Amino acid sequence: MFSSREIYSASRRFAHSDDRRAWCELIVSLTLYFGAMAVGLTTLGTWWLTVPAVLLAAAMGLRIYMIQHDCLHRSFFTSRDVNDRTGSLLSAIAMTPYRATRHIHGLHHTYVSDLERRDTFEIQTMTLKEWQAAPKWKKVQYRYYRSPVVLILVGPFLLYAILRRMPLYGLKTGIGDLIFHNVLLLSYLAVIWQLAGWGGLGFWAVSVYLACAFGALIPYVVHNFESITWGTRPELTFQTAALEGSAVLNWGRLFDLVTMNIGYHDLHHLNAKIPGYKLREAHAALEAEGMLNSEKIGFWQGLSCLRWKLYDEDRGCMIPFPSATVVKPTVAAE
């Protein structure tokens, strides 16, 4: 049995950026994205071309978001400055300001699976004890929030389309970053409007919506599977939280290609300096050496994770909402 520190030490041999590979990944992703946008904007109404184009634009938009995510960790390129500049320039496609996102995402990695810092997670999770002690209005609010409609179909699009324009934590990282991001995004939308009018903006909005809806499944499933570990410091160590507070998404090679291997999430949390284009290889190597024994979740199993709503601290697992218990009145014996 390998300790988490030994696994981290072994992972460091993969934690090196490859500029040639990084530029190739970026250029291919941008070429496919803008190619799909060009086809979509010039074939509006020709459904057999428009539909595949919007699907490809959504997939590549999600991939570019993942590239920006690697830049947040300064793992995509060898140069810190190139990571930061690239991440900022990609923000119009990724739909999120770079420095503000880097701040909150860094907190997420620092406090993964920490019950006392759930404010750093993308998705709010209550414990069973908190649920039992909560007033009725809060239970109704939480039920509404944890519904698949809000978490997957509505919430992510509203988050990236509206709330990420001016996140409150962005004030800590500099208003200039927010202004730059919004000016860049508005300029991009102005170009689309000039080329294809409202129909073009509609095409763009659909591509963003699809990327948001599918992309929202990723953080949900990797941090909301049944056997996940939550805890508090100091008993909960960073290494344990990374390996037991994250799962692996076994959704196929195409999924890995589109998402820059982000599905190998336990290793990513253990060592975020491993660039996405090396993550699958690194995970396979460490698994072959017997160092990783990840919780692997298939796509349909991932969808079933939407039933998990609360963390039961006593049982150490996620559970659905408790069923209402109907107590029948007892009749006193005469």
CA distance 259 to 246: 16
Low-confidence ranges of the chain (pLDDT < 50): 325-334
Q: How crowded is residue 277: how many other Cβ atoms within 10 Å of its Cβ?
A: 19
Query: Residue 19: which H helix or E strand, with range?
Result: helix 19-42
Render pLDDT for 220-272 as a digit per residue (tens, 0 to 9): 999 999 999 999 998 999 889 999 999 999 999 999 999 999 999 999 999 99
Q: How crowded is residue 83: how many other Cβ atoms within 10 Å of its Cβ?
A: 23
250 within 8 A of 186, measured Cβ to Cβ: no
Q: Which residues pair with 231 in a beta bridge?
A: 114
The structure tokens listed for 151 are 């978490």
The structure tokens listed for 291 are 């160092």
Give the residue ranges of DSSP H helices in 78-237.
80-89, 91-94, 98-110, 128-133, 136-145, 148, 155-161, 170-173, 175-222
99 within 8 A of 68, measured Cβ to Cβ: no
Q: Which residue has the tokens 């095409």?
A: 203
pLDDT at 316: 94
Q: State how beta strands 310-312 and 317-319 pair.
A: antiparallel
| Radius of gyration of the CA atoms of the chain, in A | 22
Kindly state whether residue 3 falls inside one of the protein's structural domains: no
Kindly state whether residue 5 falls inside one of the protein's structural domains: no
User: Which backbone phi and psi does 124 adopt, to 5 degrees?
Assistant: -75, 135
Kindly state whether residue 325 falls inside one of the protein's structural domains: no
Kindly state whether residue 332 falls inside one of the protein's structural domains: no
Kindly state whether residue 327 falls inside one of the protein's structural domains: no
Kindly state whether residue 334 falls inside one of the protein's structural domains: no
> Against a cut of 0.85, is the pTM above it?
yes
User: Which backbone phi and psi does 317 adopt, to 5 degrees?
Assistant: -160, 165
121 within 8 A of 241, measured Cβ to Cβ: no
Render pLDDT for 59-75 as a digit per residue (tens, 0 to 9): 999 999 999 999 999 99
The structure tokens listed for 248 are 């692996």
Q: Which residue has the tokens 């300001």?
A: 97
CA distance 175 to 164: 13
The structure tokens listed for 113 are 């699976």
The structure tokens listed for 296 are 């692997």
97 within 8 A of 167, measured Cβ to Cβ: yes
Kindly state whether residue 145 falls inside one of the protein's structural domains: yes
pLDDT at 331: 40
Running DSSP on this structure, what letter comes out for residue 44?
T
Kindly state whether residue 7 falls inside one of the protein's structural domains: no
pLDDT at 326: 39
319 within 8 A of 132, measured Cβ to Cβ: no
**Which of 206, 162, 155 lies closest to 185 in space, CA to CA?**
162
Domain residues for the domain of 72 are 18-319
Domain count, the chain: 1
245 within 8 A of 4, measured Cβ to Cβ: no
CA distance 97 to 105: 12
Report the Cα 129 to chain-centroid distance in Å: 27
Q: Give CA separation, 36 vs 31, 203, 253, in Å.
A: 8, 11, 21
